């Protein structure tokens, strides 16, 4: 595997981590998101920009964690998955039948 391909695979994986984290905790700030997925804020910034540009996530009301208990600094902006755009449907088939749940995870690499 080439180095460029490896970098692309890591980026796609990280984009999916970010989308899954936002799906699990809508309204998370970038700081909360970085902690949840185990990335530095600097590594998270271009990923979030990529998702915002493609309409896969959208800002929400201000999140409280970046302002801190003293109210100092810029208020954090929460993020959430924007379900109005691209979507995929995952179907899980097993002994107990099948279930489906709409997801947009696969769209992150586009």
Contact 102, 67 (CB under 8 A): no
- pLDDT for residue 92: 65
Whole-number Å distance between alpha carbons of 89 and 67: 37
40-55 burial, b at 16+ Cβ within 10 Å, e below that, comes to: eeeebeebbebbeeee
Whole-number Å distance between alpha carbons of 36 and 11: 16
Task: Give the mean pLDDT of the chain.
Answer: 78
- pLDDT above 90 (res 105): no
**How crowded is residue 63: how many other Cβ atoms within 10 Å of its Cβ?**
20
For residue range 43-88, list pLDDT tens digits in order.
Answer: 999 999 999 998 889 998 655 444 445 456 666 789 998 877 665 6
For residue range 55-64, list pLDDT tens digits in order.
Answer: 889 998 655 4
């Amino acid at each position: 595997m080439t180095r460029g391909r490896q970098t692309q695979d890591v980026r796609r994986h990280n984009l999916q981590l970010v989308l899954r984290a936002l799906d699990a905790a809508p309204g998370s700030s970038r700081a909360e998101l970085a902690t949840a997925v185990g990335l530095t804020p600097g590594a998270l910034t271009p990923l979030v920009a990529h998702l915002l540009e493609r309409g896969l996530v959208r800002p929400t009301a201000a999140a409280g964690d970046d302002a801190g208990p003293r109210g100092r600094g810029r208020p954090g902006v929460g993020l959430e998955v924007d379900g109005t755009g691209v979507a995929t449907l995952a179907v899980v088939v097993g002994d107990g039948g099948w279930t489906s749940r709409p997801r947009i995870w696969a769209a992150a690499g586009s």
